[in-house]
Structure 1
């Protein structure tokens, strides 16, 4: 059947929008990373250990909301399409960042984080969008490109946030609001729907739109369930960085918002190169299973180096090793999408986001309080402020063992892409 003349340009615009959506959302979140802990510290008038506990509580609240609402958003996108969910998410985040920019008290800042957790659906829905339109053999590379969008946003976001925060702690929140609302306006005019009506779920079922129903979906696919456990441990370990990095760098090396922003930009640069370049180039040579195992091993090495580095230079040298661990994520996610029915891709991504959110409920408080304990007078081991990173490394040793067992009977699913790019289907 002949395609409309404007089919390919619209498809390209859709892919570009998904890339830009993830990049701008990561940029918006990255901008506030260097300043949110300092804003919390100013509002409570407490010391660094007390601020660490509050940072952990804020992160846990954010992820609790994601845990509850991500399956709802995934089920809604399976029933009504991806476009509406993505646009509502971008608009809601923009309004929320405005609330946080104006918050004069801790409770209003707390409310702002609550609503941002409920609205932040674009990541999981963007993944479902990619699963709708990208052939199976190309999904790992496509997820790698989304990872690169994360990296690009993370390169610019923290550095810009640190610079803006140096002028005023509230300015990064206003900038994040503008970026989210700009993204909404762009998507309103550009983004087509990726899920045609005939491929949507016949109805919206509340049994599937809750985090526990999402776990039932994962259990129906045993290999997906095992890989989801690896995904959970990867995300849990990641919160050692998210919840302690800013305060750890301040405590160990005396880095303020600008220095933290620049080093986080280095993390974003390295991660972006891994996701955009190495995933695509190494996949034909290594295959999905070996890439997962190599990535997990490098993550373990990176976290150990973060936690045990005796000086700032060795800490910085560990960043590229840690970022090479990003090789594990795209092939694991690709493996999972291969085994799930097309009309359940939104629920799968919602379930994975719920698992990441579940990690976020427990991880930030656990790691932040572990950091606070090991810099206090009651530390069980003195001179180990990087204990949170050491624990993250141990968690990923467990994830590696699970991945070895889960993937041992999975045949390689990657086939090299043809020299002439094939058109991607399913975008109207």
Structure 2
């Protein structure tokens, strides 16, 4: 409880400071404030069971790795695995998403420089369409393969798969950087590599579960893992991308750093990180192949959500989640291209706003869902999110201030996504909850495989000369999807039976 309250305090302070400092384009000071807050407010009490050679969080030093001695984690019945070992997973996932945060604001410009005939980095109709198609290939392959890669980590161990995920992303970035004018095939090859090796988050999550045997401590550890390794990485990555890609530096510079970080990440995994899965707990290869054929494939995962044997409310919640997640991906897909076309923003301007949005998505659900309950959070969230998207096209077509407030409205309405996730988890049985939540992640990748090409092509249609399609058309489409979510929630009374239950957010 003390850890949770301190993490909430960290979220409040960091959100306030970053809103003030980063939106003033004072990136360095904002970044220093993030580091100072994280090192001074997150305090973990020292316990006798923590080894001196494992990573710990301290008040004055933040992350501390006092020893490089290799340790083998072997769970036994008598002695639980040290809780501190999951910080290795936090570190690897943080480095991975730090690289992703460096690439997100700058990759559309790199794609534009490859696609545009004149080699310019300005977003065009063609670069928007191809960028969406490239990401769609990535998401499709991730949808098809992430379950198998996760199952493979049960056979060969976690650290080797963490290294493969890091090296795969490094190779992806290297291919993207090596692409030059009109070499579009290389962009698709790069995302094929990325989709075929994308398993970092899933395997790192499994590492956390391996390292913490106590169920109560495990829940806290997973929450800390997701918050720090994903949100914390983006807080640093987005502003840093803006700094490195300023007027005097090429937009490829942040991606170069991202590639180096992933090579370093892979070497750390291979040479230093202890294995969390002991030999006696590993799955035989034949058993893994049988699992993939029966339950470990994407079709079987989707059947858990939409199959005839699924709970009726669970099935309805999954249907609503499909439209909500598809709408949520509009920001991921066209945000950087949209602000470049409409406001002329580069990574320096878009990066800080992405940080603020990420913080809102991390902090707001923790307070709103528990206060309003699932039913109201789903319905009110879908409505506010839809209004936020619609207001981008109605009020913020040329005014950046109105656009900022529209994005803030979207951030408030995004509580619909974690609220539906909580509903799905609540309706699943105790024995299948993990599998159902894994199926939900599979559904996310499938939505991405369609959303990226569709939103990219809609924006491309708007950017054509003499086009009557509004530039904000992708956001109008997302708003319509959220209204479908709202209709399903009202018709199926989603969350009504759980309104008296307090969410774990």
Q: Please give the range of the TM-score, normalised by the shorter of the 2 chains.
A: 0.7 to 0.9
Counterpart secondary structure, 1:153: helix
Quickly say closer, same or farther: Cα 1:377–1:360, change in 2 above 3 A. Answer: same
Instruction: Note if 1:255 corresponds to 2:345.
Output: yes
What are the Cα deviations for residues 104-135 of structure 1, in whole angstroms up to 9, with x where unaligned? 43322321111112222233445566678685
The aligned counterpart of 1:192 is: 276
For 1:245 and 1:269, locate their aligned partners in 2 and report how far apart those are by CA, in whole Å: 16
Give 1:382-397 correspondences, 5 Å limit. 384-397=470-483
Alignment counterpart, residue 36 of structure 1, candidates 97, 107, 111: 107
Alignment counterpart, residue 173 of structure 1, candidates 255, 270, 276: 255
Greater Rg by CA: 2
1:284–1:416 contact (8 Å) kept in structure 2: yes
For 1:334 and 1:128, locate their aligned partners in 2 and report how far apart those are by CA, in whole Å: 20
Alignment counterpart, residue 300 of structure 2, candidates 188, 213, 222: 213
The aligned counterpart of 1:357 is: 445
The aligned counterpart of 1:245 is: 335
The aligned counterpart of 1:10 is: 82
Alignment counterpart, residue 49 of structure 1, candidates 104, 125, 128: 125
The aligned counterpart of 2:60 is: none
For 1:13 and 1:357, locate their aligned partners in 2 and report how far apart those are by CA, in whole Å: 29
Counterpart secondary structure, 1:205: helix
- TM superposition shift of 1:54: 1.0
1:56–1:364 contact (8 Å) kept in structure 2: yes
| Equivalent residues, number | 408
Alignment counterpart, residue 367 of structure 1, candidates 437, 455, 462: 455
What are the Cα deviations for residues 192-221 of structure 1, in whole angstroms up to 9, with x where unaligned? 349993999885332333322221232343
What are the Cα deviations for residues 80-100 of structure 1, in whole angstroms up to 9, with x where unaligned? 776654443233223332333
- TM superposition shift of 1:259: 1.9
- Using CA pairs under 8 Å that are at least 6 residues apart, name the structure with larger relative contact order, 1 or 2: 1
Once the two structures are overlaid, the 10-residue window that deviates more, 31-40 or 121-130, is: 121-130
The aligned counterpart of 2:372 is: 286
Instruction: Note if 1:110 corresponds to 2:188.
Output: yes
- TM superposition shift of 1:312: 0.6
For 2:389 and 2:134, locate their aligned partners in 1 and report how far apart those are by CA, in whole Å: 23
Quickly say closer, same or farther: Cα 1:327–1:25, change in 2 above 3 A. Answer: farther
Gaps of 5+ in 1: 418-428
1:127–1:349 contact (8 Å) kept in structure 2: no
Quickly say closer, same or farther: Cα 1:214–1:142, change in 2 above 3 A. Answer: same
Instruction: Note if 1:332 corresponds to 2:420.
Output: yes
Instruction: Note if 1:23 corresponds to 2:71.
Output: no
Alignment counterpart, residue 165 of structure 2, candidates 65, 76, 89: 89
Quickly say closer, same or farther: Cα 1:92–1:345, change in 2 above 3 A. Answer: farther
What are the Cα deviations for residues 17-73 of structure 1, in whole angstroms up to 9, with x where unaligned? 444444333221121122222212212224711111111111111111112112323
The aligned counterpart of 1:421 is: none
Counterpart secondary structure, 1:305: helix
TM-score (normalizing by structure 1): 0.80
Instruction: Note if 1:160 corresponds to 2:160.
Output: no
1:90–1:184 contact (8 Å) kept in structure 2: yes
For 2:467 and 2:502, locate their aligned partners in 1 and report how far apart those are by CA, in whole Å: 48
The aligned counterpart of 1:402 is: 488
- TM superposition shift of 1:377: 4.1
More helix by share: 1
For 2:407 and 2:197, locate their aligned partners in 1 and report how far apart those are by CA, in whole Å: 31
For 1:399 and 1:339, locate their aligned partners in 2 and report how far apart those are by CA, in whole Å: 18
Quickly say closer, same or farther: Cα 1:53–1:305, change in 2 above 3 A. Answer: same
Counterpart secondary structure, 2:293: coil
